[in-house]
Chain A
Amino acid sequence: MTRWRAVGDVLLRRVVELAILLFAISTLLFFLLRLSGDPAAVLAGEEADPETVALIAERYGLDRPLMVQYLQYLASTLLLDFGESLRGGLPAIWMVLDRLGSTLLLSFLALATTIAIAVPLGAWLGMRPDAAERKVVNGGVYIMQGIPGYIVGLILIQIFVVELRWLTSIGITSWTSWILPALTLASFLVPKMVRVLAANVSEALREDYIRTARACGATEREILWRHAVPNALLGATALIGTQFAFLMSGSLVTEWIFSWPGFGALLIESVDRLDFPVVQAAVFVIAFLVFAVNAVTDVAFRLIDPRLREQRS
Chain B
Amino acid sequence: MTIGRLLEMANDILIEIKNLSMYFPMTKGIIRQQKIAEVKAVDGVNFFIRKGETLGLVGESGCGKTTLGRCLLQLIRPTSGEVYFEGVDLCTMASDHLRSIRQRMQIIFQDPFDSLDPRMTAGEIVAEPLRVHTQLRGRELREKIAELLKIVGLDPSMTERYPHQFSGGQRQRLGIARALSIRPSFIVCDEPISALDVSIQAQIINLLEDLQGEFDLTYLFIAHDLSVVRHISHRVAVMYLGKIVEVANRDALYQVAKHPYTIALLSAVPIPDPIVEASRERIILRGEIPSPIALPPGCNFHPRCPIGVEICQREIPSLREIEEGHWVACHLA
Q: Do A and B come from one complex?
A: no
Interface residues of B (CB under 8 A from A): none
Please give the residue numbers on chain A whose beta carbons come within 8 Å of chain B beta carbons, in ascending order: none
